[in-house]
Amino acid sequence: MSESVRPGAGGLAERLTAVQGGIVAAAAAAGRDPAELTTIVVTKFQPVSLLQELAALGVRNFGESRHQEAQAKAAELLQLDLTWHFVGQVQGKKARQVRAYADVIHSVDRASLVDALASEDSVVDCFVQVNLTDDPSRGGVAPGELPKLVEHVLSTAGLRLIGLMAVAPLGAEPRPSFARVRELGEQIQQFAPNAKSLSMGMSQDYAEAIIEGATHLRIGTAITGNRPVSG
């Protein structure tokens, strides 16, 4: 399409294409096959209409971080057969409800939540989230506690551990943080051989995450534009 006739320049389709191009370029620079990467578009605070537009553009993987909002969107868009990734902190008392619509839970971070997510009836894919900061409110298990929590997930029915998730700390170079997550992933694979995936990389740092082996990118504003101000 030529520059002059491109509709909606600066719009959603263009941002999606730009990020997809950036991912392919970053993968090529890292010597990786882009087919190894799952791009999740994080749509928290965004209206359902925006998710419908993204679905029409071919997006299948959506990320949400607030339970009530995610539950309502998943119900409204049920017919589109999308894949839902829950990426926010999960309250224990909401755990069963989250697993009812989420295909993948990225934020398993404590033993009590593992117990709350247990099920004899179905299996949900999950990541254990690692906290790379000293601030416990940011979610995630401290690296020193990781092996014990992974053992707990492995011995719990209804959870299939597929890897580790992390958010790079604010204000620091992201790449060393992602390298740390990759190393932690290699450590736990010694006893959790299926935990090979790495959910890391957001709008500002996905290229660094790809270099360090990310398999699941969680990208919001670079694709959606700014989030509406939350209430």
Ligand X SMILES: *Cc1c(COP(=O)(O)O)cnc(C)c1O
Minimum CB–partner distance for residue 52 and ligand X (Å): 19
From residue 168 to residue 207, the character string flagging contacts with ligand X as x (rule: CB under 6 A) and all else as - is ----------------------------------xx----
C-beta separation of 120 from 114 below 8 A: no
Minimum CB–partner distance for residue 204 and ligand X (Å): 6
* Residue 13, Ramachandran bin (φ over 0: left; ψ between -120 and 50: alpha; else beta): alpha
Scanning 31-39, 109-117, 170-178, 219-227 for contacts with ligand X by CB under 6 A, the matching segment is: 219-227
Question: Checking DSSP bridges between strand 38-42 and strand 159-166, what pairing results, if any?
Answer: unpaired
**The dihedral sign for the CA sequence 166, 95, 97, 138:** negative
Verify binding: residue 65, ligand X, rule CB under 6 A: yes
- What is the distance between the alpha carbons of residues 56 and 118, in angstroms, rounded to a whole number? 35
Minimum CB–partner distance for residue 148 and ligand X (Å): 23
- What is the distance between the alpha carbons of residues 123 and 113, in angstroms, rounded to a whole number? 15
Verify binding: residue 73, ligand X, rule CB under 6 A: no
Scanning 12-20, 29-37, 177-185, 214-222 for contacts with ligand X by CB under 6 A, the matching segment is: 214-222
- What is the distance between the alpha carbons of residues 181 and 168, in angstroms, rounded to a whole number? 10
Verify binding: residue 87, ligand X, rule CB under 6 A: yes
